[in-house]
Amino acid sequence: MADQQQPGLKNEKVGQVVSTKMQKTIVVEVSRRVPHPLYKRIIGKRKKFYAHDEKGDAKVGDMVRIVECRPLSRLKRWRLAEVVRRAAQVGAQPSDLDVKV
């Protein structure tokens, strides 16, 4: 019983949105720092998760919390729970970038 989670508690992860190019789907990169198994040096590991974003709330660069859910597609097993921190929006005008319109 110690290995099993209590019913109703879902696995949660916090990561950064790296892509919002799909409809109702975001790609979240979760980073963690773990010791190397042999050399014990702290290294950074990261993994991408596909998460369901029904309303399209998340933008690239946002820190979000995702929660485990039933399989929604071949790759999606997570859904967006909340946007923890919004990314700083940098607005550049085409005239600032020397782009001909």
pLDDT of residue 40: 96
Return the number of other C-beta atoms located less than 10 Å from residue 24's C-beta.
Answer: 14
User: With a threshold of 0.85, does the pTM exceed it?
Assistant: no
C-alpha distances out from residue 7 to 14, 19, 75, Å: 21, 32, 24
**Topology of domain 12-85, per CATH?**
OB fold (Dihydrolipoamide Acetyltransferase, E2P) (2.40.50)
Per-residue pLDDT of the chain (101 residues; tens, 9 = 90+): 455 556 667 899 999 999 999 999 999 999 999 999 999 999 999 999 999 999 999 999 999 999 999 999 999 999 999 999 998 877 666 655 665 65
Specify the pLDDT at position 92. 62
- pLDDT tens digits for range 29-38: 999 999 999 9
